[in-house]
Structure 1
Amino acid sequence: MNARLTRRHFVGGLALMGVATPRAWAQGFAGLGRDADGFASVIPGRALTFPADHGPHPEFRIEWWYLTANLIDASGNAYGAQWTLFRQAMAPSTQDHGWATPQVWMGHAGITSATAHHAAETFARGGIGQAGVTATPFRAWIDAWDTRGLDGFSDMNVAPLEVSASAENFNYRLRLDAKQPLVLQGDAGYSRKSERGQASYYYSQPYFTAAGTLAIDGKDIAVTGRAWMDREYSSQPLASDQTGWDWFSLHLPNDEKLMLFRLRQKDGSHYFAGNWITADGKSAPLPTDAIAMAPMAITDVAGRKVPTAWRIAIQSRALQIETTPLNAQSWMATTFSYWEGPVRFTGSHSGVGYLEMTGY
């Protein structure tokens, strides 16, 4: 039997669950608003523990290990790199070995410049060694795409790491270092996604410095910059009437960080959340009514109307900024397609970051 899980088989399996059907798209982006009967629940007050929580949680339906990097070359040209590994449970079960496992894995990788955006996608069946995550020593992989801890790895810093991916017309290999520990998002790692109880466990490492090489169409480019890792796991991260999200990770001046998102609801009463992270690692949740996000410009992307420039205000933090994309055509034409790319911002604060938008 061929161990490789093809895109056709992966999507077919999701269809059996209702995830790839029109009905599922009515249950939140990519079916993430479906009922979670039989899966573990996200509850407030659970303490996250490390290194254990760097590893997989098969009792929950979905989780991801998500890395984005804002990079520049020696001439100051900007680039973005993305590396993501998703785990999806097709049914409630903790069986994680062999072909009996319900766990499937999906990897996304991307490279963005001012003139081009490249994306790649790969799939794997869990339990047979083609993809997976180990907490100690830390390693996340799918096929030849790899994120692994290097000598001197710190469980609390999630560093140093080496991240690599390759596709037909791009590849990259980056080293990520961090002097600061990871931070908990939401309320001590409990990240609420609606007023009706949907939530995830969520933590980040926003302090990475990055250095390495990327190649686009066969041209090697040495780069340095900043990177950000997000870790989330949940069984029902969206409400059934939430159609998608607009999510920012921003590197502010003086090494402060900002994570914020808007979850779009069909009735227009969108849900906002975020965390302000200080240079010394203190992560404070922002009240929902303290966040103002409004699109400034709409771009035609892959036959869709996508808001690619934004105005963001957080009055309690004296922040008023406007964001612009490095490349407005940063569309991930993957099975569940979305916009993902580097941005820069100006105003009361200036810097760079990443924007992800789903459900358009």
Structure 2
Amino acid sequence: MISRRSIVCGAVLLPSLLVSAVPVRAVQTPEAVTGGDAPRPLSFPADSGPHDDAATEWWYYTGHLETEDGELYGFEYVIFRGNRGGVEGFVSHFAVTDNPLGAFAYAQQIVAADGARGSRFAMDLDVNGWTMRGEGGRDRLRAVMTDYAINLQLQPGKPVVPHDGDGYIDYGNGTFSWYYSRTRMPVEGILTVDGEDKLVFGEAWMDHQWGNFTTFEDGGWDWYAVQLDDGSEVMLYVIHDGAGMPLIVDGSLLDAESIQTVLEAEDFAIEATGEWTSPKTGTVWPSGWTISVPTAGLDLVVTPTMPDQELDTRYTTGIIYWEGQSLVEGTRDGQPITGRAYVELTGYAPVEAAGALGPSATPVAGP
């Protein structure tokens, strides 16, 4: 299994990093994931935080937030860490999907390592005032940009999902990574919209990956994180080459009891139902999808809450990507089912050297 983000990380993200060269602590019982070919089990809270021996690492959150009045918002918040030859740096992206206003906003930052890492918690990261703090899935997220801010508290929810069975991925070329997800994290807190604080609640999805992988191929990936209302989740991704031909197709199902089923390419089908052309970058993106998983009796329709959820992050990572909140409806074994999803698309726009500032890019957060 190759991570959806490992393709660009070595060749694009890390050079950009090197050029730029609180929740209440809770008593926790450490989690552990064992088995497979991993040289050690995943262990928490330690594996919530940075790993000094990793050349590449990220913490990636997406989530769905509701207000007491039923308004729906989405958020993406990620911190990337790179380390080459002892030189460390961080990149962060923060985005809000504002459905009530029909607006999408994002910002990005890039900083050297000084002051970015704390020690109060296993995960204690500060990228120029944007913070992720916590451990074992009990996390506090804070970020601010023009017109929007989040101050969110997350709980572990369902157990950790270790990718490749044990959380360890051997790429067979001398490189490796550790990778796990938390697929349904209860979240509550404050979303600030144009100066107004809104109490929100909802569910988030978190990925944490680290290792010495620096693989790179022309192309990109389509990634789907689906949370269904019956308590199950679906994660699917298609890694494709520069011509759009699939290279790796993989996925997994997690039922309401947290039992994981690994899916191979022949186990599911994804088809784009439309497309959207960005007026800012000219990129043509797929927009809307059908997902079929016959062995699970699933037939789903995934629809973005708005077409424009594009992030021009050439300033920090060299890429333009689409990461969008979506609504899900369909059937399981012929019975109606609904849910929510986040979809990530890369490889549809040319990769550029990090540091380029596109016309739609916002280089740093607002005050």
The answer to whether residue 259 in structure 2 is matched with residue 282 in structure 1 is yes
**Cα-Cα RMSD:** 2.7
The answer to whether residue 340 in structure 2 is matched with residue 357 in structure 1 is no
Instruction: Write the mapping of 1:1-360 to structure 2, written as runs, cut at 5 A.
Output: 28-29=7-8, 32=11, 44-46=37-39, 47-89=41-83, 91=84, 93=85, 95=86, 102-114=87-99, 115-126=102-113, 128-129=114-115, 131-132=116-117, 136-149=121-134, 155=136, 158-159=137-138, 161-191=139-169, 200-236=177-213, 238-241=215-218, 243-266=219-242, 268-301=245-278, 302-335=281-314, 336-348=319-331, 349-360=337-348
Deviates more, 1:298-307 or 1:175-184: 175-184
Alpha-carbon spacing, 1:279–1:44, altered in 2? closer, same or farther (3 Å)? same
Contact between 2:302 and 2:341, CA under 8 Å: does it hold in 1?
Answer: no
| Normalised TM-score (structure 1) | 0.77
Other-structure match for 2:360: none
Amino acid at match of 2:129: A
Contact between 1:207 and 1:227, CA under 8 Å: does it hold in 2?
Answer: yes
Count of aligned residue pairs for this structure pair: 306
Deviation at 1:72, TM superposition (A): 1.6
Deviates more, 1:177-186 or 1:204-213: 177-186
Alpha-carbon spacing, 1:315–1:80, altered in 2? closer, same or farther (3 Å)? same
| Normalised TM-score (structure 2) | 0.76
Q: What's the CA shift string for 1:262-294, capped at 9, x where partnerless?
A: 111246133111121122223232123212112
Contact between 1:295 and 1:310, CA under 8 Å: does it hold in 2?
Answer: yes
Cα distance in structure 2, aligned partners of 1:204 and 1:247:
14
Amino acid at match of 1:103: E
SS of the residue 2:295 aligns to: helix
SS of the residue 2:54 aligns to: coil
Deviation at 1:168, TM superposition (A): 1.9
Contact between 2:287 and 2:304, CA under 8 Å: does it hold in 1?
Answer: yes
Structure 2, unaligned runs of 5 or more: 1-5, 14-35, 332-336, 349-367
Contact between 1:340 and 1:356, CA under 8 Å: does it hold in 2?
Answer: yes
Contact between 1:111 and 1:170, CA under 8 Å: does it hold in 2?
Answer: yes
Contact between 2:61 and 2:205, CA under 8 Å: does it hold in 1?
Answer: yes
Structure 1, unaligned runs of 5 or more: 1-26, 35-42, 96-101
Contact between 2:74 and 2:96, CA under 8 Å: does it hold in 1?
Answer: yes
Cα distance in structure 2, aligned partners of 1:275 and 1:319:
13
Amino acid at match of 1:235: N
Cα distance in structure 1, aligned partners of 2:239 and 2:173:
13
Deviation at 1:236, TM superposition (A): 3.1
Alpha-carbon spacing, 1:208–1:269, altered in 2? closer, same or farther (3 Å)? closer
Contact between 1:184 and 1:283, CA under 8 Å: does it hold in 2?
Answer: no
Contact between 1:65 and 1:232, CA under 8 Å: does it hold in 2?
Answer: yes
Percent identity of paired positions between Structure 1 and Structure 2: 27
Contact between 2:222 and 2:345, CA under 8 Å: does it hold in 1?
Answer: yes
Amino acid at match of 2:347: G
Contact between 1:80 and 1:111, CA under 8 Å: does it hold in 2?
Answer: yes
SS of the residue 1:186 aligns to: helix
